[in-house]
Each structure stands twice: as C-alpha cells, then as structure tokens.
Structure 1
Amino acid sequence: MKIAAYAALAVVAASAANAGGYVAPVVEAPIEAVPAPVVDASDWTGFYAGLQYGKGNAELDYSGASADSDFDGFGAHAGYQRDFGKFVAGGELDYNKADLDAGGDADLIRLRARAGYDMGRFLPYVTLGAAHIKGDDDLSETGITYGLGADFKVTEKFTVGAEYSRSDFKDVADVDNADLDTDLVQIRASYHF
C-alpha cells in the first residue's frame, strides 16, 4: 500500500510539473524616449514692411565747434531677407521724417544691407549702407549709415524690434571739415508677407 501511495504521489507530482512546465520570468525591456525631431520653427525668408519711431540726435561739427539738436524720427521701412539656416541676409529701404527740436524738419532715406543670426524667433542683426538727408535749408547730403538691432517674432507674420543706427555725412554743403552725424534709436513693427 505504501508503494501504491508513493506511486500515486509521484504521478500527481509529475503531472503537476508537466502541466505548465518551467516558465521563465518575464523581464520587460526599458522604454526609451525617442527625441522629437528638431524643427526650425521660424523662417525669416521673405518680404516685410512696417513702421518705426524713435529718438535721435544730430550733431554738426566744424573746426572744433559743434551744434546739436535732438529730434523725433518716425517713418516706414520695407525689405527682403533670406534665411540660410543660421545666417540671414537681406536689404532694406527706409524713410524717416526728423522733427528737429531746434526747428525745422529733415528727411532721412537709407538703403542698407542687413546680416543677422537666426535664433528661432529672435534675430539679432547688423546693418551697413548709404544714407541721404534733405533738410528745409537746402541741405542735401549723402553719407554712410551703420547700426545694429534685433527683431522678435510675435507670430510668424508679425515682428517687433529695436534698433540703433548712425549716419555720417562728411563735408556738408561742400564745406571742408563740416561733418554732420546722426544717432537714432528706434522701435520697429513689421508685417512679413
């Protein structure tokens, strides 16, 4: 009887062991996060136009003597630029009406090249070009202009920015060593087409 009991116990144990067999523990592989593709959210390529307003100073220097006048400068600008990845280049034409504190008005027209660094929605840039000033008192001179600024994209179509520029005019009214320099700080708003 003992033999029969041991045999029955062996059969039950063998059938239980064979029923499911050995099952290895399940080890789940760690989940790896896939980085999102880097997409340049802003493209600065295209035409743009807008308005600007600012404060400036004009200084006339002749043989060590100087006279200066502050002015409000307001006007419009239009241009085109091309985004080459991280580098942005283009050109711009702008018109500024200067209302001089010392009395009188002057028109400042500038044609400038722009070069900037694409930081997504932010574009710092430098400018270099030609400037022409025409005043109430038969003043009409052409000189050089240069500056720096930055634009920020509020939306893909609308930017705001700030800019400092300087325009230098040499030998004003054909008088040797009579130099006129203007400094202008402006805020700008542009629509991109």
Structure 2
Amino acid sequence: MMKTTFLAALISGSAAAAMAGGYAAPVVEVAPAAPVVVAAEQPTGDWTGFYAGLQYGKTEADIDGIDVDGDNYGVHVGYLRDFGRFVGGAELSYDKLDDFDIGGIDVDDLVGDVDGNLLRAKLLAGYDAGQLLPYAAISLARGELEFDGEDGSETGLGFGLGVKYMATPRFMLGAEWMRNSFEVDNGAGSDTDVDLDTLSLNASFRF
C-alpha cells in the first residue's frame, strides 16, 4: 500500500512540475548550407565574332641588302568565322613605324627625320585547337615613308604566320610575323626592292 501511494505521489509530482515549467521543445541543430561556388566564365573555343585591339612589335626592312631596324605599333580590327576545325577571317591593321637604326646608329642622325605608316588588309586561315588558333595569312599593304619633309608610298603583297590565344571569352592575346614586299622608285630610273618584316604581340577585345 505504501509503495502504491509513493508511486502515485511521484507520478503526480512529476506531472505538476512539467506543467509548471511548461513544455520544452527539443533543440534540433541544422547543419550549415554548403557555400555556392560560382564558376568563372570559361572560353568556349568558338572563334566566331568581331574583335579589335592593339599591337606592338619590331620591324626589319631589307633595302637592297641593307638592314634597317625599327619599332611598329598600332591598332587592328577584324572578324573570325569558326567552321569547326577550320577558322577563316579578315583583319585590317594600321601601324606607325619609327625609331629606325642601321647597325645601332639612329637613322635620324644620318639622314634626318624618318617615319613610316603601314596599312594592311589581311585574310586569315587557321586551325581551331580549342583556346589556341594557329593561322597563316596573306595581306595587301600600303606603305608610306616620310623622309625629311617628303613622303612616298607604295603597295605590296605579303604573307605571314600567327597564333591567337583565347584567354577569356572576351579577351585574346596573340603574336604574328608578317612580310610585305615593295618595289620603290629610287629616282634613278629603276626600282629598289624592299622587304619589310614585322614581328608583333597583340591584345584584342572580342565583341
């Protein structure tokens, strides 16, 4: 009888204590959500589109066996079309030519102020290697040379090799070698052969 009374009192007291303290809901710990990682935009390898940019490089002119070195820098604009493995395109470039020297001697000190301009229209044919585009090119160039207040211009054909690298979907880097040949009237009743080589680095914005 005493055991029954004790158990009843214990149950009754426990129930009263629970009612007095209120109901305490169990605490459920929620694991933190995994961070969302946004991947950087990757190049697609599709070369189709317009582009424009800048170039800088070195120039070497072979004038009847005399080597003249200089700098070239300018702008370019072009368009590429991706046909799968083959990529074709066209480009128009303008370069300023200056700082000429012969064997380390400044040409300006020898004959006066000499500057040049080079406008080229190019056709490009390349191989789609993903983010790399090696290509060959042919060009029609208009070269102009300003010498001590006088100027002259000639048109010549050319060819070259280059490579473009798609660093991002909007930005390209590249390098190009191009040779153009001109026949310049030397004023003595004959023409002087001029082979003009340019080796340039370029950066282009795609749009």
Contact 1:172 1:180 (8 Å CA) reproduced: no
Q: Distance in 1 between matches of 2:135 and 2:170?
A: 18
Distance 1:56 1:141, change over 3 A: same
CA shift at 1:170, angstroms? Answer: 2.0
Q: Which amino acid aligns with 1:77?
A: H
Contact 1:81 1:89 (8 Å CA) reproduced: yes
Q: Distance in 1 between matches of 2:84 and 2:185?
A: 42
Q: Which amino acid aligns with 1:90?
A: G
CA RMSD of aligned residues (A): 1.6
Residue matched to 2:56: 53
Match of 2:143 among 126, 130, 133: 133
User: Which SS does the other structure have where 2:67 is aligned?
Assistant: strand
Q: What stretches of structure 2 of length at least 5 have no aligned partner?
A: 1-42, 102-106, 109-113
Residue matched to 2:123: 113
Q: Distance in 2 between matches of 1:90 and 1:171?
A: 30
- After superposition, the C-alpha distances for 1:48-76 in whole angstroms (9 at most, x for unaligned) are 00000001111211xxxx32310000000
Distance 1:181 1:172, change over 3 A: farther
Residue matched to 2:177: 164
How many residues align? The count is: 150
Q: Distance in 1 between matches of 2:91 and 2:44?
A: 24
Distance 1:114 1:172, change over 3 A: farther
Residue matched to 2:93: 94
Contact 1:139 1:173 (8 Å CA) reproduced: no
Q: What stretches of structure 1 of length at least 5 have no aligned partner?
A: 1-39
Distance 1:173 1:142, change over 3 A: farther
Q: Distance in 2 between matches of 1:86 and 1:176?
A: 46
1:18-57 equivalent positions in 2, closer than 5 A: 41-57=44-60
Residue matched to 1:184: 198
Identity %: 45
Q: Which aligned runs of 4 or more in structure 1 are off by greater than 4 angstroms? A: none
Distance 1:94 1:183, change over 3 A: same
Distance 1:176 1:54, change over 3 A: same
Q: Distance in 2 between matches of 1:154 and 1:105?
A: 34
Q: Which amino acid aligns with 2:94?
A: Y
Q: Distance in 2 between matches of 1:126 and 1:170?
A: 24
Distance 1:68 1:82, change over 3 A: same
Q: Which amino acid aligns with 2:206?
A: H
TM-score, normalised on structure 1? 0.74
- After superposition, the C-alpha distances for 1:17-67 in whole angstroms (9 at most, x for unaligned) are xxxxxxxxxxxxxxxxxxxxxxx9311001000000001111211xxxx32
Q: Which amino acid aligns with 2:86?
A: F
Q: Distance in 2 between matches of 1:59 and 1:49?
A: 30
- After superposition, the C-alpha distances for 1:134-174 in whole angstroms (9 at most, x for unaligned) are 11132200001210000011101101011111010024457
1:55-70 equivalent positions in 2, closer than 5 A: 55-61=58-64, 66-70=65-69
Residue matched to 1:24: none
TM-score, normalised on structure 2? 0.69
